[in-house]
Structure 1
Amino acid sequence: MDIKYTFLGHPALLCNDIEAEKKFYIDVMGFEEAFTLFHDDGTPWLTYIEITDNQFLELFHTKYPSPNRTSERSFHHFCLEVDDMAATLEMLKSKGVTVYRGPVDNGRVMDVPNHDHQPGMCGTLCAFIRDPEGNDIELQQYTPCSMQIRESGREAV
């Protein structure tokens, strides 16, 4: 019998400044706090942020000792699929978020609105942003020519 996976449940991030992270994901990105779990002594352990039904981001109230630089960690980024890239980027920029064309470390800031936004190598529209802890977030909108759509048999939104 084959295993049937239904979703990627959540990426999990350690947070040196949990309040800044929560503010970013709730106030800027527009997600909602689902719940917080606590240690036996009553101190917060982790907070779940709801992205969509059955899709979460897990924020650990756990500091990490090293710089959180992309080139020095295994984790590279996580990706959020959006249904309207232009509107998403406009909203984020209006909240002071810098939008990048490609990974943030490339340093190519994207002009928003960007009416000449061309699909990337896999046929999707994509842009990158960074949260307060320095974690990169890819924003992606599938198009009819997206390899993810063509290969899965799914339809683009």
Structure 2
Amino acid sequence: MQIESLHHIAIICSDYERSKFFYTEILGFRIENEVFRADRSSYKLDLSLNGQYLIELFSFPDPPGRVSRPEATGLRHIAFGVKDIQKEVDFLKSKDIVVEAIRVDRHTNRKFTFFNDPDNLPIELYEI
């Protein structure tokens, strides 16, 4: 097997409009395609960042809640690289998003922090 790249991340949300706003208007993802799948009562929203397709955002009626704390088996979080972490933290706080204190990765000496999407999916910002 030879994997070439990460193709996309699929996220299921509980409130489609709220999550669509969060990922596009707050985080700055671009809508590539939006489809309502009537047979599933579900939206599928394809999102890109800087021309790279990254996220499929799905809505389903009454999805079960995600276990975030205590941390459960499975994917833990998604992480995005930023140039100026303090600037991005200040922006998120201006949008009333709770952001953890900035920490320093003791192995790389790079700054990072976490915040949550509308469904408590942990998102990391990592200064590059």
* TM range, smaller chain: 0.7 to 0.9
Q: Which TM-score applies when normalising by structure 1?
A: 0.68
State which of 104, 107, 110 in structure 2 corresponds to 1:119.
104
| Alpha-carbon distance in structure 2 between the residues aligned to 1:62 and 1:40 | 11
In the other structure, the counterpart of 1:27 is 25
Q: Which has the higher contact order (CA 8 A, sep 6+)?
A: 2
Q: Is the 8 A contact 2:42 2:60 kept in 1?
A: no
Q: Which deviations, in whole Å up to 9, do the C-alpha atoms of 1:69-109 show, x marking residues without a partner?
A: 21345221011111111111111111111111xxxxxxxxx
Percent identity, aligned pairs only? 25
The alpha-carbon deviation at position 50 of structure 1 amounts to 1.5
1:50 aligned residue:
48
Q: Which runs of 5+ in 2 are unaligned?
A: none
Unaligned runs of 5+ in 1: 101-109, 111-116, 143-157
d(CA) in 2 for partners of 1:66, 1:118: 31
RMSD across aligned C-alpha pairs, in angstroms? 2.4
User: Paired residue for 2:34?
Assistant: 36
TM-score by length of 2: 0.82
- Alpha-carbon deviation of 1:43? 5.6
Count residues in correspondence.
Answer: 125
**Cα–Cα, structure 1 residues 34 and 132, in superposed 2: closer, same or farther, change >3 Å?**
same
One-letter amino acid matched to 1:119: V
Q: Which moved more, 1:60-69 or 1:89-98?
A: 60-69
CA contact (8 A) 2:32 2:47 kept: yes
- For the residues of structure 2 that align with 1:34 and 1:44, how far apart are their CA atoms? 17
Change (3 A) 1:17 1:42: closer
Cα deviation for residue 118 of structure 1 reads: 5.1
Q: Call closer, same or farther: CA 1:40–1:22 in 2, change over 3 Å.
A: closer
Residue identity matched to 1:31: F
